[in-house]
Structure 1
Amino acid sequence: MAPLSTKAEYMYVSSAVVELTWIQFLLCDLQIMMPTTPIAYCDNIATTYLSYNPVMHSQTKHISIDYYFVREKVAFCALKVVHVPTSAQFVDVFTKSFSGPKFKQAIANLCRLQSPTGRD
């Protein structure tokens, strides 16, 4: 059986993809097309692999079929799921406590982020 954290992370990615799909439909109705394929970032390697390749199918039967539309979107190149190591999770500064140097590094990383349009 796949670890419980993989199931939870896959459910979180699925939830984010549902919201992303809704936003894409809204933008399409407003005649605004997305220039690139959307990317869902995940810090769980097993979840990232599961999104691209169902090789662990026998170990993931407990994951509801409702969540497999992420894999379908990836298969049709409508979505990319990318692994982001925990050390590169910029938003953790808002949810976790850090020591002085780690906190300063996280804040510095946040200040370097660019807007999706490339303009500040």
Structure 2
Amino acid sequence: MTLKASTSSDANLPYPDPHYYRWLADSLNYLTITRPDIAYVANQVCQHMHHPTILKCFLRYIQGTIHFGLPLTTTPLQLRTYSDADWAGDPHDRKSTTGFCTFLGTTPISWCVKKQATVTKTSTKAEYRSLSSATSDVIWIQRLLADFQLPPTTPTPLYCNNTSAMAIAHHPVFHARTKHIEIDYHFIRHHITNGEIVLHHIYSEEQPADLLIKPLPSSRFQDLRDKLSIKLINA
């Protein structure tokens, strides 16, 4: 996906067959079940059902990586989650995008790309909402593993690159100044106190969830795709 929205007439040309476009969007959305690298663009495609446009670049990428996927490997079954948010990233309504991915061992088993419901005034609030969503996903996976007689024995590491959001989660003194995230605060704090998750800081350069929230340069995209363990699995 291009880093900046194109203003050319070709890029904004309506797709001649909206029904086929919507069918194609559904198929691409289904493909994200095993291809987190296309989750962000598929999300963008599905947001434009009302005004379908040509998506040749996306389809060319799929054609060129048709044999890529997530290999299943034998590794210790340790959960870890990465959470990120693109603050006010949508140029049309300035809503933020939540993105997170959860690994079991070295393989991603859950990921999410979702536009946040309301506009946030600060990046901290956007990141905190993403942390809350990631925490919900972690708790669900922990309970699922418990049903398979594989309950986690240690708190699940939850990695975030926003130090302000982490500070609010750890220190209630910040809460008085941020009443707008009260519910998310209590939810995350509850699971930290119960020892179900533990927050860790990660540098933005090492954040694999960055691939899920915004367009990236080719080299950066490929680097994060490798971090998500997406490889050529069948020649």
Same fold (TM over 0.5): yes
Counterpart contact for 1:51–1:71, Cα < 8 Å: yes
Matched ranges for 1:1-120 at <5 A = 4-92=122-210, 95-98=214-217, 103=219, 107=223, 111=226
Deviation digits for residues 40-94 of structure 1, max 9, x if unmatched?
1111100111111112112111114244211121123221111112122235356
Give the number of the structure with larger relative contact order, counting CA–CA contacts within 8 Å between residues 6 or more apart: 1
The gaps in structure 2 that reach 5 residues or longer are 1-120, 230-235
- Tell me how far 1:98 sits from its aligned partner: 2.6
Identical columns (%): 35
CA contact (8 A) 2:157 2:198 kept: yes
- Answer with 1 or 2: which has the greater Rg: 2
Structure 1: which 5+ residue stretches go unaligned? 115-120
Paired residue secondary structure (1:82): strand
**Counterpart amino acid of residue 193 in structure 2:** A
Aligned pair count?
108
Name the amino acid aligned to 2:157.
I
Q: So what's the TM-score if we normalise by structure 2?
A: 0.40
In structure 2, C-alpha distance between the alignment counterparts of 1:92 and 1:65, rounded to whole Å: 25
CA 1:89/1:96 → structure 2, altered by over 3 Å: closer, same or farther? farther
Task: Give the alignment's Cα RMSD to 1 decimal.
Answer: 2.6
The 4+ residue runs of structure 1 with deviation greater than 4 A are 109-114
For residues 75 and 23 of structure 1, the distance between their equivalents in structure 2, rounded to whole angstroms, comes to 18
Alpha carbons 2:159, 2:199 under 8 Å: kept:
yes
Higher strand share: 2
User: Structure 1 length as normaliser, TM-score?
Assistant: 0.72
C-alpha separation in 2, matches of 1:22 and 1:33: 12
